[in-house]
């Protein structure tokens, strides 16, 4: 009993130093993960069963975990999660082909694409279809509260992402009560497929991009766009190009300057940006959300003059 009075703020506290060309803010706020939120200058989120508190001061990341971590395995894990091992500036230089993409790279300098846990990514992006980010966050929060495990770091509480088992045994009525809408049956089908072995997460991670995408689109409720989100935000396939209404709009407005099918956009974007098209996509996507007047003639001409 007495020991609880002296309970430490976190089980593990550590630092990652010499982190250059990285923005924690843009990385965690760009709509690829739905589980982070900011309190003061720190970001709190749940990653694979523990709460992480991360803040950035210059080139140092201060990290606290709700569980006792072995630094020799956890720090490399975290570096991979944040995609710190990749030479992102080099990658961005390769896609920096024009004034528009240049502007997004400059504005959002340091934004990385995360390498998230596969099941959470599958479930989250099934829920993302025909939906908006704030509502997706709410659905995932309610599902986690109901079907996840309670976690705590200092006074901050959150819940782990529900396992496939937990979601498969839930009734569709309960899932609807969390706000999933018509996506409830897709979510349950995916959870069932993981449990009965129709969808093997470990082997999915070993497949090259085209095969992984094909395997994913086989499932009910996972089309081309959601499969590309999973491939990009979880499996590290940078050739994946999720085309949502915003990306379609951006390519039709800035690049193709006409109505275009998904196939035409995909073909153009891959030829134009190359293998790093997934990163280019993320910069374009987040930039137009940060800058609502992105399509105004005045804004566009300003960008062209600058470069």
Partner DNA sequence: TTCCAGGAGAGAG
Partner DNA sequence: CTCTCTCATGGA
Residues 6+ apart with CB under 8 A from 191: 123, 164, 165, 167, 168
Is residue 188 involved in binding DNA (CB under 7 A)? no
Residue 132 C-beta-side C-alpha neighbours within 13 Å: 2
Is residue 121 involved in binding DNA (CB under 7 A)? no
- Which residues in the 157-176 window bind DNA by CB under 7 A? 176
Binding region for DNA (CB under 7 A) out of 10-18, 87-95, 153-161, 282-290: 282-290
Which run of H or of E encompasses 52?
Answer: strand 50-57
Is residue 258 involved in binding DNA (CB under 7 A)? no
Is residue 23 involved in binding DNA (CB under 7 A)? no
Closer to DNA by Cβ: residue 32 or 160: 32
Binding region for DNA (CB under 7 A) out of 78-86, 159-167, 190-198, 238-246: 238-246
Is residue 224 involved in binding DNA (CB under 7 A)? yes
Closer to DNA by Cβ: residue 54 or 284: 284
Is residue 135 involved in binding DNA (CB under 7 A)? yes
Phi, psi of 33 (to 5 degrees): -120, 145
Separation between Cα atoms, residue 108 and residue 106, nearest integer Å: 6
Per residue in 152-180, is it b (16+ CB within 10 Å) or e — as a string? ebeebebbbbbbbebbbebeeeebeebbb
Separation between Cα atoms, residue 104 and residue 16, nearest integer Å: 26
Nearest distance in Å: CB 74, DNA: 26
User: Do the Cβ atoms of 64 and 53 come closer than 8 Å?
Assistant: yes
The three-state (H, E, C) secondary structure of 146-172, written as one string: HHCCEEEECCEEEECCCCHHHHHHCCH
Binding region for DNA (CB under 7 A) out of 14-22, 38-46, 62-70, 129-137: 129-137
- Which residues in the 136-155 window bind DNA by CB under 7 A? 136
Q: Which residues bind DNA (CB under 7 A)?
A: 30-32, 125, 128-136, 176, 179, 181-182, 217, 219-227, 229, 233, 242, 244-247, 261, 263, 281-282, 285, 289
């Amino acid at each position: 009993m007495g020991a609880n009075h002296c309970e430490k703020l976190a089980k593990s506290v550590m630092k990652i130093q010499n982190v250059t060309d990285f923005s924690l803010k843009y990385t965690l706020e760009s709509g690829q993960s739905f589980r982070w939120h900011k309190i003061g200058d720190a970001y709190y989120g749940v990653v694979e069963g523990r709460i992480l508190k991360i803040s950035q001061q210059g080139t140092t990341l201060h990290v606290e975990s709700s569980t006792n971590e072995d630094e020799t395995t956890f720090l490399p894990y975290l570096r991979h999660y944040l995609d710190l091992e990749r030479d992102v500036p080099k990658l961005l230089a390769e896609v920096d082909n024009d004034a528009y993409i240049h502007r997004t790279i400059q504005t959002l300098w340091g934004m990385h694409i995360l390498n998230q846990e596969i099941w959470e990514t599958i479930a989250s992006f099934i829920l993302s279809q025909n939906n908006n980010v704030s509502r997706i966050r709410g659905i995932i929060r309610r599902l986690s509260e109901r079907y996840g495990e309670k976690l705590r770091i200092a006074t901050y509480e959150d819940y782990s992402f529900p396992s496939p088992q937990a979601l498969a045994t839930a009734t569709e009525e309960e899932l609807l009560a969390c706000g999933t809408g018509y996506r409830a049956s897709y979510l349950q089908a995916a959870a069932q497929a993981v449990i009965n072995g129709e969808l093997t997460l470990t082997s999915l991670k070993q497949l090259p991009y085209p095969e992984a995408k094909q395997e994913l689109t086989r499932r009910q409720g996972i089309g081309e766009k959601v499969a590309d989100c999973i491939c990009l935000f979880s499996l590290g396939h940078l050739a994946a190009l999720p085309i949502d209404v915003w990306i379609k709009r951006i390519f039709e407005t800035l690049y193709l300057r006409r109505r275009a099918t998904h196939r035409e956009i995909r073909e153009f974007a891959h030829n134009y940006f190359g293998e790093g098209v997934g990163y280019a996509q993320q910069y374009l996507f987040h930039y137009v959300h940060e800058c609502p007047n992105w399509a105004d003639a005045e804004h566009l001409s300003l960008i062209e003059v600058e470069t």
